[in-house]
Amino acid sequence: MSRPSVTYINQLAYADVPYPTTLNPGDVLREPYPSVARAGCGLCCVCMMVEFLTGERLSVEACINLSIRAGANYYGTDMNRLGRAAAKRFNLEMEVSQSVETLELWLEAGGCAVIHAGREHGLFSDGGHYLFADGLSMEADWEGGGAAMKIWLLDPSFTEQKYERPDRRGRVELRDSHILAGAELVKEECAKRSPSFYLFKQRG
């Protein structure tokens, strides 16, 4: 499938970069702050989103500043606030949705999304986690045979071991930097988060 190139950003490479945010509801914002490696998945997704749609590079450090100015730096990242701040700065359109069908329509039209996954013993995370979705395609269904729609994801916390955990192994396909996951699987993993999908596209 054809898509704009985007530089994959792994939050784990930013273990020494502090992100002034909180980790739990009700926490007070104070030093020592967590690192981007621990709490910056949303930042990395927004940086990738901006490059995907505009070709411009937004550094993680610049995204931290944008998050702080937008008041999005609590409980990790408030994607509604950060996403809208980034959309305004780069002249993009943003909508939110709970519908995986709407997500598919935006991806098919050349848009992209930050998806909010998270449930206990989840595929992408055992808690809340943002991933970047930049495409979809009909692929061979290695579980049920035939073909199925797969969403292309970039996981900011990817490691070679993450998807080898017994309850995750074989549930997604790894293709270069991307993870290919079935649309119904993405829907299931995001069902407990509202909004589930932050959708972005070029304006006009």
Tell me: do 188 and 112 sit in the same domain. Answer: yes
Tell me: do 59 and 109 sit in the same domain. Answer: no
Q: Percentage of the chain surpassing pLDDT 90? A: 87
pLDDT at 175: 93
Q: Is the pLDDT of residue 57 over 90?
A: yes
pLDDT at 66: 99
What's the angle, vertex CA 80, arms to CA 58 and CA 127, rounded to 5? 95
Among 91, 126, 143, the domain-final residue is: 91
Tell me: do 98 and 196 sit in the same domain. Answer: yes
Tell me: do 31 and 109 sit in the same domain. Answer: no
Residue with tokens 């509604």: 80
Select from 34, 29, 49, 36 the least CA-distant residue to 10: 36
Q: Is the peptide bond before 34 cis (omega within 30 degrees of 0)?
A: no
DSSP state of 14: G
Cβ count within 10 A of residue 173 = 15
Which range marks the domain in which residue 103 is found? 93-200
Tell me: do 166 and 118 sit in the same domain. Answer: yes
pLDDT at 128: 94
Tell me: do 48 and 101 sit in the same domain. Answer: no
Tell me: do 28 and 107 sit in the same domain. Answer: no
Select from 199, 6, 4, 168 the least CA-distant residue to 101: 199
Mean of pLDDT over the chain: 95
- pLDDT band, very low/low/confident/very high, at 3 (cuts 50, 70, 90): low
Q: Is the pLDDT of residue 148 over 70?
A: yes
Q: Is the pLDDT of residue 143 over 70?
A: no
Q: Which residue has the higher pLDDT, 138 or 105?
A: 105
Q: Is the pLDDT of residue 140 over 80?
A: no
Per the structure, the count of domains in the chain is: 2
Tell me: do 17 and 48 sit in the same domain. Answer: yes
- pLDDT band, very low/low/confident/very high, at 145 (cuts 50, 70, 90): low
Q: Which residues pair with 198 in a beta bridge?
A: 96, 114
Q: Is the pLDDT of residue 120 over 60?
A: yes
Return the structure tokens found at 1.
Answer: 């499938």
DSSP state of 18: B
Return the structure tokens found at 141.
Answer: 């269904």
Mean pLDDT of 172-185: 94
Domain for residue 3, yes or no? no
pLDDT digits (tens, 9 = 90+) for 191-203: 999 999 999 999 9
- The model carries a pTM of 0.94
Tell me: do 112 and 141 sit in the same domain. Answer: yes
Tell me: do 133 and 86 sit in the same domain. Answer: no
Return the structure tokens found at 163.
Answer: 């998807």
Q: Do 96 and 198 contact (CB within 8 A), yes or no?
A: yes
What does the DSSP assignment read for 95-127? Answer: EEES-HHHHHHHHHTT-EEEEEE--TT-SS-SS
- pLDDT band, very low/low/confident/very high, at 144 (cuts 50, 70, 90): low
